[in-house]
Structure 1
Amino acid sequence: MRIAHVCTAHGFGHTTRQMALARELTKRGHQICLFSAAKRLLEKELFELEWTFLVSDVGLVQSDSLTIDLKATQLKLESMCSEEYRTKMGQHFKGFDLIIVDASPIAMQAAHEQDIPVIAVSNFDWAWIYEHYPPLLSWAEIFRNWQLKHDSLCLPPGPGLFYFKSVQNVDMVCRSAKPHPLKPKSILVSFGGFGLQQIENLLPQIEGVTWIFAPPNPAPQRADFLYVQDVPYRDLIAGSDIVFSKAGYGICTETARSGCHVMLLERCNFPEAKSLEDFVRQRGGIILPDLRDNRKRLRQHIHQAVLDLFKQPKPLALGSNGTANTADTIEDWLNKIL
């Protein structure tokens, strides 16, 4: 069967989990093409399956990893939700037997208009996200109508799926990894493609600790900083003692897969963040207050969190078997509808 995986343009974890799911379905004899806007990620990871660059939705426009721009989001929605854009997107989907969407409502509607079966696979839906922002309420209603035509599989951890014809809970999906050898007490600084302005100025110097940076973050300059290139990011995560990041599905699941310590900078204005932060907290991780307006205090919080985490045993590594289990569910669903 020919299957397309269509990833939202917002965030690291949507594409990484669909990469894992695509690889698993390929093992079972399906022909796969992944559609994503994460060109740099796919190239850096040397993703071996067929893929096509596609911006399938807006998500939330951000100026950095923790700051959203609702006005810019509205402007992009006007153009990307148009019938013209959907029709153009739908042309990409012709010839596929199934579209797995994570979790662009625009892509769902574009596939529906081409009479191609759709199943959503995600840990949240954009209609629910948009309900939290008054300027986006009209778009939330449009997205609800587009999503309600389709069945869905709900991935943990996350707030869940709310506006679909059906919702079935499945297992955590993430990539497998081989730990990259790093110095003892290495902390990976991971704030995604959006970065975080002057993050290096927030990091305290701690005896024996090495702060690890990797592309797409720029290379900072300090004796206790190490810049690592040409290593798959999933392997850097697996090789780190601590990962310092913000709440996102990719980081939360890939650290859980490998049993890394985690400290997150809180994301107060992102609706899906609380459920992810709760997941990390339950596994012994630490959520730091967003005190970027008081760098001295934030630096102190980071310093103490690092010391506290190194006193604790590492959390249980969950592995990546959930990917195969979720692929089983997709194949079962296909057998029912075909």
Structure 2
Amino acid sequence: MSADTGARPTLAVFVSSHGFGHASRSCAVLEHLCDLEPELQIELFTRIPQWFFASLGQHLHFHELDCDLGLVQTDAFEVDYEATLSGLADRLPFQPDLIQNLAQGVSALGCQAVLCDIAPLGLAVAKAARLPSILVENFTWDWIYSGLAQQAPVLENYATLLQPHFAGADIHIQTEPVCLPAENAHRLGPIARTFRMSVSETRDALSVASTDPLVFITMGGTHIGFPFLEQLKDRFPEIRFAVSGASETVETDHSLTLLPVRGPLHHPDLVRAADLVIGKAG
């Protein structure tokens, strides 16, 4: 890791790659920070594809890093407990050499603070580098693991390992909907990226009239099949459906518009243009 940051204000950012929700929230936060501080340099550590953060432009230095396992899932809804436990056993507790190397790396990059969207590795790195840490979350993995311990009791051990990392953040920001309120946290409303197109412009791009009912179906960045598409066409011909992640290219099939995950339309614009959104919230 190397970058010529000079005297620019520089922020290390560790983002969970469990779906696109954490990346979307982080992107919204970082876009606003760049508006407030035009000289900001962002050193981003994640396995979310770099294209997702294209709006950050020249502010961004991207470092591909598997910084958060979270849960291994077979699709958007089902947890693979065996693979999750195997992955956690390989990662936790964090290896001291890994933490030290990353701490030295963010220090060498000139980072003055570390922002984490539920990636506990970043919090451990901040502590080792003696940098202020900021945690942004509406849930943390210790809470998730404790809730799933009935299905896999050993998850409680990993919750215990991770809890001090989350509790030790210097600044703790919780965004609605909050799963487990923390007394010392700053509470904010939902955080989302800004719109780029009007409702009418988005509907025009989809060839959907302003009077047509539009349903947007999305599972974010998590792979899932869509076995119900033919039923949507047959049973609800009067309703237009836009389905994200259902195709590699934009395709229109009667009342269906199938969209790739990396598509030409901004996700928040699709949400705003729809009359109903069906999706996996987290």
TM-score by length of 2: 0.77
- The percent identity for this pair of structures is 22
2:5 — aligned with what?
none
Greater alpha carbon shift after TM alignment, 78-87 vs 94-103: 78-87
1:7 — aligned with what?
15
Alpha carbons of structure 1 residues 51 and 227: separation in structure 2 relative to 1, 3 Å: farther
1:167 — aligned with what?
185
Distance 2:15 2:133 in 1: 13
1:93 — aligned with what?
106
> Do the aligned partners of 1:125 and 1:161 also contact (CA within 8 Å) in 2?
no
Q: How does 1:153-164 map to 2 (within 5 A)?
A: 153-162=173-182
Shift of 1:32: 2.6
Alpha carbons of structure 1 residues 169 and 239: separation in structure 2 relative to 1, 3 Å: same
Q: Does structure 1 residue 197 correspond to structure 2 residue 212?
A: no
One-letter code of the match for 2:65? L
Selected match of 1:61 from 69, 72, 80: 72
Shift of 1:89: 3.5
Q: Does structure 1 residue 242 correspond to structure 2 residue 276?
A: yes
Distance 2:239 2:227 in 1: 16
Alpha carbons of structure 1 residues 31 and 125: separation in structure 2 relative to 1, 3 Å: same
Q: Residues 196-254 of structure 1: CA distance to partner in whole angstroms, max 9, x if unpaired?
A: 23343474331321221234755688432212442222222222222211223xxxxxx
> Do the aligned partners of 1:63 and 1:194 also contact (CA within 8 Å) in 2?
no
Shift of 1:91: 4.2
Shift of 1:77: 1.7
Distance 2:105 2:238 in 1: 51
Distance 1:46 1:192 in 2: 18
Shift of 1:195: 2.9
Q: Does structure 1 residue 19 correspond to structure 2 residue 27?
A: yes
SS of 1:42's equivalent? helix
One-letter code of the match for 2:216? L
Q: Does structure 1 residue 112 correspond to structure 2 residue 121?
A: no
Distance 1:41 1:75 in 2: 30
Distance 1:216 1:12 in 2: 16
Unaligned runs of 5+ in 2: 1-8
TM-align CA RMSD: 2.5
Q: Does structure 1 residue 39 correspond to structure 2 residue 49?
A: yes
Alpha carbons of structure 1 residues 245 and 218: separation in structure 2 relative to 1, 3 Å: farther
> Do the aligned partners of 2:115 and 2:122 also contact (CA within 8 Å) in 1?
no
1:128 — aligned with what?
143
Alpha carbons of structure 1 residues 234 and 36: separation in structure 2 relative to 1, 3 Å: farther
Distance 1:46 1:168 in 2: 26
> Do the aligned partners of 1:26 and 1:32 also contact (CA within 8 Å) in 2?
no
Q: How does 1:172-191 map to 2 (within 5 A)?
A: 172-177=190-195, 178=197, 179=199, 180-181=202-203, 182=206, 183=208, 184-191=212-219
SS of 1:204's equivalent? helix
> Do the aligned partners of 1:186 and 1:211 also contact (CA within 8 Å) in 2?
yes
Distance 1:140 1:131 in 2: 6
Count of matched residue positions in the alignment of Structure 1 and Structure 2? 245
SS of 2:134's equivalent? strand
SS of 1:158's equivalent? coil
> Do the aligned partners of 2:114 and 2:131 also contact (CA within 8 Å) in 1?
yes
TM-score by length of 1: 0.65
Selected match of 1:149 from 168, 191, 194: 168
SS of 1:121's equivalent? strand
> Do the aligned partners of 2:120 and 2:166 also contact (CA within 8 Å) in 1?
yes
Q: Residues 133-172 of structure 1: CA distance to partner in whole angstroms, max 9, x if unpaired?
A: 222111111101222222311111121354x9x3221232
Q: Residues 64-92 of structure 1: CA distance to partner in whole angstroms, max 9, x if unpaired?
A: 00001122112112233331433344344
Distance 2:256 2:34 in 1: 39
> Do the aligned partners of 1:8 and 1:103 also contact (CA within 8 Å) in 2?
yes
1:211 — aligned with what?
241
SS of 1:226's equivalent? strand
Alpha carbons of structure 1 residues 215 and 197: separation in structure 2 relative to 1, 3 Å: closer
